[in-house]
Amino acid sequence: MYEVKCCICVNNVFCIIFLSSSPVMTVSGEDVILPCSIKPNISAVNMRVEWIRLDLKGSIVHLYEDHKDINTDQLQSYRGRTQVFTEELEKGNTSLKLSRVQISDEGLYKCFIQSGKLTAVGSVPVITVGGFDGSGGLHLQCESKGWNPEPDLVWLNSEGVTLTSESPDTHRDDTDGFSVKHMITVYNTDTKYHCRVRMRHHMMEAEIIISSEYRFLFCTVNSERQVCFPAQMFLSWRSSVILISVAVVLSVIAGILITVRENTEREPEREPENTE
In the chain, the N- to C-terminal Cα span, in Å, equals 123
Name the residue with higher pLDDT: 233 or 70: 70
User: Where are the domains positioned within the chain?
Assistant: 2-114, 126-234
Residue 104 pLDDT greater than 80, yes or no: yes
Q: pLDDT digit string (tens) for 43-91?
A: 888 888 889 988 887 789 999 988 899 888 899 999 999 999 989 998 8
Enter the CATH code of domain 126-234: 2.60.40.10
What is the strand order of the sheet 32-34 is part of? 32-34, 96-98, 82-84
Domains 2-114 and 126-234 in one fold: yes
Mean pLDDT, residues 170-184: 84
pTM score of the predicted model? 0.46
CB 30, CB 47: distance < 8 Å? no
Other Cβ atoms less than 10 A from the Cβ of 193: the count is 22
Torsion of CA 212, 214, 218, 224, to 10 degrees: -130
DSSP classification of residue 66: T
Q: Which of 189-193, 225-229, 236-240, 259-263 shows the highest mean pLDDT?
A: 189-193
Per-residue pLDDT band for 226 (boundaries 50, 70, 90) equals low
Which of 105-109, 122-126, 190-194, 265-269 has the weakest average pLDDT? 265-269
Does the domain at 2-114 match CATH 3.40.50.300? Answer given as: no
